[in-house]
Structure 1
Amino acid sequence: MKFFTKKRIVLFLLFIFPLMCFLLLSTGINNAAKLPIYGENTLDISIVDSTKTLKNKVSLICFLGGDIANNKGGVFNLNQNIYKKFIEHNDFQIIAIYPKGTDKEVLSFKKELGAFTDMAKWKFTAGSRENINTFFDSFKTNTSLDNFYTSDAFIVDKNGYLRERTDDEEKKERKLVGYDMNSVAELKKIMKDDINVLYYEYYAAFKNKNKADRKEVGL
């Protein structure tokens, strides 16, 4: 058939087919991809440090502990595989919590991290041991802090709600609330995807609001 010329086939493969794939994927994400809320009773970080807040920010929370020299490997992973991927988002931040009295060790670590990183959206936060425990307990996870440290990092949305990953593989439900900073694979393949899903939620909500506003004014 003359319709299927070599030139038309090439044009289809180069332009039309990729566009169709994009539209299909976009539709799928819009209809299905949402990151479930795990808990709505998470306390604000202001309980630890009154100068900081989770409101109107996509926040990653990590707990550095009282012995950062032995715990910093996972934080470097988080910096390399997550922080550097989302630093361009104005509403993104990582809050790294540590107990008061370890400021000297944390300052040394910040200098080490800052040697190859723009630290603008790293928020190192010192708190009393009591307030750190109270803040972490509000997450209501099945894990606990060990010397104010956990290898898990947590995603908190702009409303201060803790988010989770729910997978349904082979009809077995797996819930993931904290993301293991010591696992590069978990950060790159799971946490990164989940943050993208959360940002898509905000993008979709903004787009739908614009549509509603335009409809209301008759545009």
Structure 2
Amino acid sequence: MKKAFVLIVLFVFPLVAYLFFASGINNFGRLPILTENIPNVSQLDNEVNLDNKITILGFLGSEIGQKKGNAFNLNQKIYKRFSDFNDFQIVMVVPKGTEDKVKALKNELGTLSDVEKWNFAYGSEAEIKAFFRGLKTNMYLDENLGTPYVYIIDKSRNLRGRNDDEEEGTKYGFNTNSVAELNNKMEDDVKIILAEYRLALKKNNANRSK
């Protein structure tokens, strides 16, 4: 009996463990698409584009000073960690007329990190509301056209998120008021989508070399 048990431990268990992890690797790397082909923010501001970028999309609203803490949380927990990725960017949609407030915010963020990949798109109230509706989420903008939530947009302008979140079920966005949510959920999801694109790039390079 002891010999049989030892054989199981030495040979069967490692095989089962290998098959389990191999299956996990094969299924890894896809963050669910919740909304396909959202509008391009270039419709509001032609100096900003979502195409071919992995974008963290947010709406700061007109009272940017009130959302300063949200921007700092996002900068420290997400932007600084992933900004070295070539196709990564943050895009904040803001109302026209907030240019001076945006400049002040960028100056403050610039004391903490390089803000080269922080982009701001300006639009009218009607344009911002229409663009937000195009995300097709279960969320709303406040009276200042802002929200503490940010969204992961892939290179094909698909909104990515979770369809099996333990608290929300379908999770469209991530609350920048919560450092814990940025650390425990959003960081993981950004890692997944970056890994997805790295894997696709490796496969493309391997196919070209054949």
Distance 1:71 1:26 in 2: 43
1:212 deviates by 3.6
Pair 1:149 & 2:146 matched: yes
Amino acid at match of 2:133: D
Amino acid at match of 1:199: L
Q: In structure 2, which of residues 52, 59, 64 is the aligned counterpart of residue 63 of structure 1?
A: 59
Question: After the TM superposition, which residues 185-196 of structure 1 pair with which residues of structure 2 at under 5 Å, given as runs?
Answer: 185-196=180-191
Q: Normalising by the residue count of structure 1, what TM-score does the alignment of the two structures yield?
A: 0.81
Distance 1:82 1:44 in 2: 22
Aligned to 1:80: 76
Q: In structure 2, which of residues 102, 110, 113 is the aligned counterpart of residue 114 of structure 1?
A: 110
Instruction: Write the deviation string for residues 18-71 of structure 1: whole angstroms up to 9, x where unpaired.
Output: xxx9xx867623423410111113100111111221111000001111111111
1:166 deviates by 2.7
Amino acid at match of 2:192: V
1:76 deviates by 0.6
Aligned to 1:208: 203
Question: After the TM superposition, which residues 88-167 of structure 1 pair with which residues of structure 2 at under 5 Å, given as runs?
Answer: 88-146=84-142, 147-167=144-164
- Gaps of at least 5 residues in structure 2 are 1-16
| SS of match in other structure, 2:116 | helix
Distance 2:117 2:193 in 1: 18
Distance 1:198 1:76 in 2: 23
Against the structure 1 CA distance between its residues 154 and 26, is the aligned structure 2 distance closer, same or farther, given a 3 Å change threshold?
farther
| SS of match in other structure, 2:101 | helix
- Which runs of structure 1 show a deviation greater than 6 angstroms over 4 or more consecutive aligned residues? none
1:206 deviates by 2.2
1:114 deviates by 1.1
Q: Give aligned-pair identity as a percent.
A: 44
| SS of match in other structure, 2:126 | helix
Verify the 8 A CA contact 1:30 1:204 in the aligned structure 2: no
Q: What RMSD in Å do the two structures reach over aligned CA positions?
A: 2.4
1:208 deviates by 2.6
Q: Normalising by the residue count of structure 2, what TM-score does the alignment of the two structures yield?
A: 0.84
Distance 1:134 1:203 in 2: 33
